[in-house]
Amino acid sequence: MTETTETTRTGTTGTGTGTGTGTRGTTEQELTDNVVASFDTAKDERFREVMQALVRHAHAFVRETRLTEAEWSAAIGFLTAAGHITTDTRQEFVLLSDVLGISMLTVAVNEPGLGESTESTVLGPFFVQDSPEIDLGGDIAGGAKGEPSWVAGTVKDTDGNPVPGARIEVWEADDDGMYDVQYDDGALAGRAHLFADTEGRYRFWALTPTPYPIPDDGPVGRLLQHAGRSPMRAPHLHFKVTAPGFHTLITHMFVAGDPTLDSDSVFGVKESLVRPFDRHRPGTPTPDSRQLEGPWTSARFDIVLRKE
């Protein structure tokens, strides 16, 4: 493509040899170079690095796809709709990041090769600060519907030493595939936090995780539908584990054998996080002698933290 053709395309004239905001460019590449240079004056070095990289990659995307004005307008409309549907309890942009794999890629970039420590995965859009505290052996369900599940394990460091008093935050969806914050009653259910004992041991009752769809009644759901992709998440229990002197762990515990493990809509499954949930018939004694009328499951999830 000649420079004359490029000048007609961009509607600009001039040599494009200057730098800084407003400099005229005659080619697509000169336009990109000028926009990148406009951030040279940023005082924050990291801000400058990120914004210049963003411009280079975004411009490269437009050139590669030969993006039309109508397509760009549709993209702006999509992002506007994502903003409109976002609330304090629903973050459509987190969902977008999740289904594009950006959330998991960010995890991979920031948590590479951690050896013997438990692997991380996405936080998800439904974490809530200040969840209720339960004692060891308590129940996080809080009235949420589902099959009872006994979950136990230990929290240790990479040398095999227990981490006493580690704070273990857990949350999950109910049997209808809904988190508590998706309901209008304001009640907290299916979430709590507890603390490991002096030997790093923990235990609690939860609900047996089941597959559920991410919220798909908004722009992200329409994106998945247009792509022929499922909105389903593989069944899991969320964990956030913290202790002084240790790196915060954000992870999931997945249910072994579930068919959705290979098609998780946010690409969050890691093989090391998959655990069997053993099924027990009604009347089978529970570890804490709890009286249950129906079936229940049990699972073990040992957690290894790395030091800061």
Helices 69-85, 92-99: inter-axial angle, 10-degree rounding: 130
Residues 6+ apart with CB under 8 A from 242: 166, 167, 169, 248, 249
CA-nearest of 254, 257, 267 to 151 is 254
Q: Using DSSP, state whether 167 is helix, strand or coil.
A: strand
Average confidence (pLDDT) over 77-87: 97
Percent of the chain with pLDDT over 90: 85
Helices 45-65, 28-37: inter-axial angle, 10-degree rounding: 160
Give me the pLDDT at residue 89, please: 81
Average confidence (pLDDT) over 106-127: 86
Instruction: Give 264-283 pLDDT, tens digit per residue.
Output: 999 999 999 999 999 999 99
Give me the pLDDT at residue 113, please: 57
Average confidence (pLDDT) over 41-62: 98
pTM comes to 0.86
Amino acid at position 97, single letter:
S
For 260, how many CA atoms within 13 A lie in the half-sphere containing its CB?
A: 20
* Domains assigned to the chain: 3-67 (no CATH), 114-305 (2.60.130.10)
Instruction: Give 180-222 pLDDT, tens digit per residue.
Output: 999 988 889 999 999 999 999 999 999 999 999 999 999 999 9
Give me the pLDDT at residue 298, please: 98
CA-nearest of 169, 167, 207, 163 to 299 is 207
Instruction: Give 219-242 pLDDT, tens digit per residue.
Output: 999 999 999 999 999 999 999 999
Give me the pLDDT at residue 18, please: 43
Cα gap 286→150, rounded to integer Å? 8
Query: What Cα–Cα distance (Å) separates residue 43 from each residue in 35, 40, 284?
Result: 16, 8, 65
Q: Using DSSP, state whether 55 is helix, strand or coil.
A: helix
Q: Concatenated DSSP letters for 234-263?
A: PPEEEEEEE-TTB--EEEEEEETT-GGGGG
Instruction: Give 4-30 pLDDT, tens digit per residue.
Output: 334 334 433 344 444 445 556 679 999
Q: Are 183 and 150 in contact (CB under 8 A)?
A: no
CA-nearest of 245, 19, 287 to 148 is 287
